[in-house]
Amino acid sequence: MVKIGIVGATGYTGVELLRLLALHDECELLTITSRAEAGRPVADLFPNLRGHIDLCFENPETAVLTDCDLVFFATPNGIAMQQAPELLDADVRVVDLAADFRIRDRSVWEHWYGMQHASPDLLQRAVYGLPEINRAAVREARLLANPGCYPTAVTLGFLPLVEQGLIELEHLVADTKSGVSGAGRKASVATLMGEAGESFKAYAIPGHRHQPEIRQTLSLAAGSDVGLTFVPHLVPMIRGIEATLYARLKRTDVDLQGLFEARYRDEAFVDVMPLGSHPETRSVRGINSCRIAVHRPLDGDVVVISSVIDNLVKGAAGQAVQNMNLMLGLPECTGLEQVALSP
């Protein structure tokens, strides 16, 4: 059994990580930390874990994280970059579910996240944990940056076209929608039911911090810079992301359906839907899958991709477990073969 620690498991991503690891056959949860909830049984805060996790939250100052084989950081941005070096020096693998190590360029990171990076020397060492493009590197990773939720849905949607050089890269468009859990488990007027219910709005149109992450990944895949218009929306649901992606084809004599099916044929967690499909967020609720459909409206030169994920699973905790499995030499699908919830 591999020994696992979790730092900061009191948010939506943290409890989702606990839900998945509680039934993971190869994992032993050694310590779960929270400064605010130290001493409180985990199942008191999250009753859905009653009978599955009998640990109490520990103060991060006294928790012995160096006894773990791997530690997850389910913390706000800015925490992992301060604590990861000590764990790496102790030969503990680290998976950061926040954004501390996702962007390689320090100045870009500091611009978008509004703070000075505490461990800039680790930015080039961290592996970006999208297994569908970095599986070999993930297996060898000591420090892993788990991708953001929007970047996962958008990147997987555009990737086959970018890799094959089939679209004009200057004007990619990502029109994305997320449930309110993407904003985190904190008191916020904007995500109150009375504010978000029966409403639909765009936000962060001038610029969103996930945009440079998406551009970085797609630019590496393309071998050149990409231009991206990225507009996120808040929709009145709890879980889920739908990304409607637009690009202009360089040529129209390509079997797009065949291209996507071939690219993801061996990917357990990417499901290319039949021709003419329209994926729904409810079809991935609670599971580590990205469902994709590709269209060419009116047989024109614009390609439209619809990509759906559960933002808390494939967009966060599930992908982190997928990466953990690879890093620790476990079968990639271990603990991640649930059936989606319906209704």
Structural domain includes residue 278: yes
Per residue in 273-323, pLDDT (tens digit) is: 999 999 999 999 999 999 999 999 999 999 999 999 999 999 999 999 999
Same domain, 88 and 163: no
Q: Is there a catalytic annotation at residue 149?
A: yes
Per residue in 86-142, pLDDT (tens digit) is: 999 999 999 999 999 999 999 999 999 999 999 999 999 999 999 999 999 999 999
Same domain, 234 and 293: yes
For 226-288, give the DSSP string.
--EEEEEEE-SSSS-EEEEEEEEBS-S-S-HHHHHHHHTTT-TTEEEPPTT----GGGGTTSS
The parent domain of residue 164 ranges over 149-311
Per residue in 193-252, pLDDT (tens digit) is: 788 888 999 999 999 999 999 999 999 999 999 999 999 999 999 999 999 999 999 999
Between 192 and 39, name the one with better pLDDT.
39
Structural domain includes residue 75: yes
Give the pLDDT of residue 191.
79
Same domain, 84 and 169: no
Q: Is pLDDT at 187 greater than 70 in this prediction?
A: no
Same domain, 218 and 93: no
Structural domain includes residue 141: no
> Cβ(202)–Cβ(260) under 8 Å?
no
CA geometry: angle at 133 spanning 13 and 287, to 5°?
35
Count structural domains, the chain. 2
Q: Is pLDDT at 149 greater than 90 in this prediction?
A: yes
Same domain, 34 and 75: yes
Structural domain includes residue 48: yes
Same domain, 154 and 112: no
Q: How confident is the model at residue 336 (pLDDT cuts 50, 70, 90)?
A: very high
Domain of residue 74, CATH code: 3.40.50.720
Structural domain includes residue 159: yes
Which of 27, 68, 149, 290 is catalytic? The answer is: 149
Structural domain includes residue 336: no
Q: Is pLDDT at 334 greater than 70 in this prediction?
A: yes
Q: How confident is the model at residue 55 (pLDDT cuts 50, 70, 90)?
A: very high
Give the pLDDT of residue 295.
98
